[in-house]
Amino acid sequence: MDRNHTDGESAKRTDETAVALLLRSTHLEVGQIMELMDIGDREFREMACRNQTIARRLEERRLGTLRELKSEPRACKACGEWFLPYGSDRYCSDGCKRTAQLSTCRRRAS
Ligand SMILES: [Zn+2]
């Protein structure tokens, strides 16, 4: 029953990182974030109890001290991880950018 325990745990941590990031966005409601991450009330509450960053962001939201971000969190086009882009970055890292470039067959105009 519990064979995928380890994988489940690491997936959970990734989710928490993404939730903490999305919570920084002043344009996203908690409900929207839950929908994006496909998590329920109970799961979200558990995350907030376990994860200091999430708890702090929720507190900031409650107090209205959340600062506006220069850029909005975005899902990486290559790996799907949420990240904070600089300018119009579409990938979370150089590695992902490279992966995407290498996997695209582009016909060169000559
Ligand atoms: Zn990526």
Domain match, 49 and 101 both: no
Domain match, 56 and 84 both: no
Q: Which residue has the higher pLDDT, 89 or 11?
A: 89
Residue 2 and residue 19: Cα distance in Å, rounded?
25
pLDDT at position 5 over 60: no
Whether residue 22 contacts residue 12, with contact meaning beta carbons closer than 8 Å, is answered with: no
Domain match, 89 and 52 both: no
Domain match, 20 and 60 both: yes
pLDDT, mean over the chain: 88
Distance 100 CA to ligand 1 centre (A): 9
- Count of domains for the chain: 2
pTM (two decimals): 0.78
Residue 14 and residue 106: Cα distance in Å, rounded?
32
Q: pLDDT (tens digit, 9 = 90+) per residue, 53-78?
A: 999 999 999 999 998 888 899 999 99
Distance 94 CA to ligand 1 centre (A): 8
Distance 74 CA to ligand 1 centre (A): 10
Range of the domain at 96: 71-110
Domain match, 37 and 86 both: no
